[in-house]
Structure 1
Amino acid sequence: MVRDENSKGVGIEIPNAKKLNKMSVGRAALLDSSTLKLKPRPDYLAMLVKFLDNEAIKVISGMRRCGKSSLLIMLAEYLREMGIPQKNIVMANFESSEFFDVTDYRSLTAWLYKRMDEPEHYYVLLDEVQLVDHWERAINALRVDADVDIYLTGSNAYLLSSQLATLLSGRYEEINVYPLSFKEFMNYAGLSDRRLGLERYLRFGGLPPVVDQGDDCQLAETMLSGIYNTVVVKDVAQHVQIRNMSVLGDVARFLADTTGSSVAITNIERRLASAHRKTAGGTVERYVQGLVDAFLFSRAQRYDLKGGAYLQGGEKYYPADLGIRNMLLDFPAGDLGFALENVVYNELLVRGFHVRVGKLGNIEVDFIATKGETKLAIQVTATMLDEKTRQRELAPLRQLVTKSANEGLRRMVLTYDTVGLGVVDGIEIVNAIDWLLE
């Protein structure tokens, strides 16, 4: 089908998040593949609506079960409510048995053009598109030949980024979808008690299917295990070509166990060797990258605040979801400081910040976060009530103010404490729950 140059996309009003939150998810969007009712995520839906008909391909990325499929369904319902005919909304979930015969770019192209049999404007929403061999060839041809607005989801960063960069460089927008933030979690679960809510969030995380299990710990743990195993098999093992799944599990547990600490590949090698699973450093690196590409972990690089350059080695890895981390470690007790650090890191990503670990000589700042003109320097600690701890957490932030490159930097310490808050030497001491619920 050739693009009709006289055909234009329908002008669509961009509602605010409050309006999107109240919007019905409709009859066609009542159930997702796990038969759980959809609940709106208005901030993400607002992002998609903002990009409607802007000619770029929209790529929705994130780990499995974080809500990408549900977001596509909500977008389709939004389009229907705005008057777009159902026949002009072309949807496919390539994990469904309905699409077992759509295996490569040729069969994908044939299926799409069969649905798009009139010279009209279409919205094409394709879920887990990386399961189709050479899918990018079909998408690129569709973009050139047809009058379409294209939305894709995928659960492997390598497949999406590498193939899109090859054919579609500069012609796509990426929307990163994360598990529920703490604020989203409280609304999603219908909770009002902040402390109890945080306890549950720190234990079981914010993946929507897990949150849907409510207070049933056994079901939540079973769901987390199932999600992790699916990610490992479908998004890591196939991509990295894993020969020894037990070694991959050991690498994942090592990263989970060292959350908030600098990680060296040699340390992982030694851990594997001590467990009689000797593995070459290059293989370990591939396994780590595979876990990052599947969005199970995120890498925070070290940044020299004096020289303004990235430092090699010693990166930190943070699990994308606290529930997955705890499942890997058999739900350990305590560890509240590192758990809070993980939550803060993930929250910064959700808010759109680029996050690094700050280094100033021998001093380290937990997070240096930037977004446009906004710059944050953040220390995270369970408590500052002990004077020695208080001075230790404030010291790195005090030094930053002397560097001209750090002008305009907002310095903060986030803590569970509810007393001793305020501003000290220009450094804000803030209750972490207050900050998370901003």
Structure 2
Amino acid sequence: MIQRPLYINKLLGFKDKQLIKIVTGIRRCGKSTLFEMYQEELLKKGVFKQQIQSINLEDPLYRDLINWEKLYDYINAHLVDDKMNYVFIDEIQNVADFQKAADGLFIKKNVDLYLTGSNSNIQSGQWATLLSGRYVQIHVFPLSFKEYSSALSSDNKFEKFKQYLENSSFPYVLNLNNDKKQIYDYLGGIYSTVVLKDVIANKKIRDINRLESVIKFMTDNIGNISSIKKISDTMVSEGLKILPVTIENYINALCDSYILYKANRYDVKGKRLLKTLDKYYLVDIGLRYYLLGNTKTDKGRILENIIYLELLRRGYNVYVGKNGDKEIDFIAESIDGTEYYQVAETVRDPLTLKRELSSLDLVRDHNPKFLLTQDFEPNTSHNGIKQINIIDWLLE
């Protein structure tokens, strides 16, 4: 198993706290495996096997437990009376009125409850409605480059990064030994499952061709400022009329299913969120190659996508910055403060370096500012702006 200490440490931090731990994320990103690793950690810390119950509701073995009362009774019957019990339920959305079982287990002082769900109806906000005030959500992404790199024997970090960009960050891809055909087929299975189960079925979308046109447009435009009108105009120019409200619904569904992530724009001078012209990023660059093939694109936008997801993994709230007529790639906020990031493939050209630095130079506060590039020069500073190699930053 690929070690994922970021998430394990988060789970350990909430261990035995009277909160339901909900693990979310796109299908096949490793949620179930994370539960297995966490259970191993519990055993290492002295928890006995009898104290752990693990139920995957997509396993036919548990087909009789999709009724919430039967699920509750089954778990309750296997609890150890005088010790803390750790209960893990995968794909809880398969149980109608699952919150009733969760509530019943939550009020027990000797139950620590962990859930996963892949249903976008739940992920788009129903957790808060159904389990209000009683849960904490831990969002899982496909592998970071650091996690991916740790699973490869090579010491060549540049070659590993190239493979990371060209293949996929979904964990199982590492078992396919860099076989491009097998990886393509595997990504096709993920795409079909997510689109068919979590988007089309749950949102009751009838026109699959129109949905896929929007998906391909958004995939081709990662890191570009997007508007519903622009997308609609593009569809019309290609002979496919889609109402703006339909496009908006499609994009919301893709975000709910964690295929896309939306980065709102933030006005640095006005200190306010802007309501239009957001950017969108894809959960996995491998899916982009699956959908579009090896079409030429701005390498900088692919690197932006990687950095955006990594900032989310590290716990930041991430925005696209607007500072007058300049754009800051990312404003990253956390409880520890604010950081600013520019991302570029290379800044060896003096004019490119000047352009990338100008956006950060205009920010007058004293928060950390970073320029991330693929250039191999030693890390340097430009009037307080730290220039760091992207690979080194990802491996921090």
Deviates more, 1:105-114 or 1:177-186: 105-114
- Rate the CA distance shift 1:160–1:215 in 2: closer, same or farther, 3 A: closer
In the alignment, what sits opposite 1:431?
A: 389
Cα deviation for residue 271 of structure 1 reads 2.7
Q: Does 1:367 align with 2:330?
A: yes
Quote the Cα distance in structure 1 between the aligned partners of 2:44 and 2:256.
35
Judge conservation of contact 1:300–1:317 (CA < 8 Å) in 2.
yes
- Rate the CA distance shift 1:268–1:131 in 2: closer, same or farther, 3 A: farther
Out of 39, 46, 55, the position equivalent to 1:83 is: 46
Out of 238, 249, 261, the position equivalent to 1:298 is: 261
Cα deviation for residue 167 of structure 1 reads 3.5
Number of equivalences: 396
Deviates more, 1:68-77 or 1:109-118: 109-118
Judge conservation of contact 1:155–1:295 (CA < 8 Å) in 2.
no
Cα deviation for residue 117 of structure 1 reads 7.5
1:364 aligned partner, one-letter code: E
2:377 aligned partner, one-letter code: V
- Rate the CA distance shift 1:243–1:157 in 2: closer, same or farther, 3 A: closer
2:274 aligned partner, one-letter code: L
Judge conservation of contact 2:2–2:147 (CA < 8 Å) in 1.
no
1:9-48 deviations in Å (ceiling 9; x for gaps): xxxxxxxxxxxxxxxxxxxxxxxxxxxxx33222211211
Judge conservation of contact 1:136–1:164 (CA < 8 Å) in 2.
no
- Rate the CA distance shift 1:306–1:422 in 2: closer, same or farther, 3 A: same
5+ residue gaps, structure 1: 1-37, 402-406
5+ residue gaps, structure 2: none
In the alignment, what sits opposite 1:51?
A: 14
TM-score, normalised relative to structure 2: 0.94
Q: Does 1:231 align with 2:210?
A: no
Cα deviation for residue 420 of structure 1 reads 7.6
Judge conservation of contact 1:211–1:220 (CA < 8 Å) in 2.
no
Cα deviation for residue 156 of structure 1 reads 4.1
Following superposition of structure 1 onto structure 2, how do residues 11-50 of structure 1 map, counting pairs within 5 Å?
A: 38-50=1-13
Judge conservation of contact 1:61–1:156 (CA < 8 Å) in 2.
no
Other structure's SS at 1:107 match: helix
Following superposition of structure 1 onto structure 2, how do residues 143-154 of structure 1 map, counting pairs within 5 Å?
A: 143-145=106-108, 147-154=110-117
Judge conservation of contact 1:126–1:151 (CA < 8 Å) in 2.
yes
Judge conservation of contact 2:168–2:286 (CA < 8 Å) in 1.
yes
1:372 aligned partner, one-letter code: I
Judge conservation of contact 2:51–2:80 (CA < 8 Å) in 1.
no
Q: Does 1:309 align with 2:272?
A: yes
Cα deviation for residue 108 of structure 1 reads 2.5
- Rate the CA distance shift 1:431–1:145 in 2: closer, same or farther, 3 A: closer
Cα deviation for residue 273 of structure 1 reads 2.7
In the alignment, what sits opposite 1:180?
A: 143
Deviates more, 1:81-90 or 1:392-401: 81-90
Other structure's SS at 2:37 match: helix
In the alignment, what sits opposite 1:193?
A: 156
1:413 aligned partner, one-letter code: L
In the alignment, what sits opposite 2:310?
A: 347
Other structure's SS at 1:370 match: strand
1:120-146 deviations in Å (ceiling 9; x for gaps): 532110112122222122211221256
Deviates more, 1:142-151 or 1:58-67: 142-151
Cα deviation for residue 336 of structure 1 reads 1.7
Judge conservation of contact 1:375–1:408 (CA < 8 Å) in 2.
no
Quote the Cα distance in structure 1 between the aligned partners of 2:378 and 2:153.
30
Quote the Cα distance in structure 2 between the aligned partners of 1:423 and 1:181.
26
In the alignment, what sits opposite 2:233?
A: 270
Judge conservation of contact 1:265–1:284 (CA < 8 Å) in 2.
yes
Q: Does 1:399 align with 2:328?
A: no
TM-score, normalised relative to structure 1: 0.86
Other structure's SS at 2:275 match: strand
1:238-278 deviations in Å (ceiling 9; x for gaps): 22111112222111111111111111112222233334432
Deviates more, 1:182-191 or 1:62-71: 182-191
In the alignment, what sits opposite 1:338?
A: 301
1:342 aligned partner, one-letter code: N
Judge conservation of contact 1:186–1:192 (CA < 8 Å) in 2.
no
RMSD of aligned C-alpha atoms?
1.9
Q: Does 1:122 align with 2:85?
A: yes
2:373 aligned partner, one-letter code: T
Quote the Cα distance in structure 1 between the aligned partners of 2:41 and 2:391.
33
1:75 aligned partner, one-letter code: Y
In the alignment, what sits opposite 1:410?
A: 368
In the alignment, what sits opposite 1:67?
A: 30
Quote the Cα distance in structure 2 between the aligned partners of 1:162 and 1:420.
45
1:376-423 deviations in Å (ceiling 9; x for gaps): 11111111111221111111111112xxxxx33111111111238511
Cα deviation for residue 334 of structure 1 reads 5.2
Following superposition of structure 1 onto structure 2, how do residues 87-166 of structure 1 map, counting pairs within 5 Å?
A: 87-116=50-79, 118=81, 120-145=83-108, 147-156=110-119, 158-160=121-123, 162-166=125-129
Cα deviation for residue 360 of structure 1 reads 1.2
- Rate the CA distance shift 1:427–1:40 in 2: closer, same or farther, 3 A: closer
Judge conservation of contact 1:189–1:214 (CA < 8 Å) in 2.
no
1:243 aligned partner, one-letter code: R
Deviates more, 1:56-65 or 1:190-199: 190-199
1:229 aligned partner, one-letter code: S
Q: Does 1:279 align with 2:252?
A: no
1:279 aligned partner, one-letter code: I
In the alignment, what sits opposite 2:252?
A: 289
The sequence identity of aligned pairs, in percent, is: 37
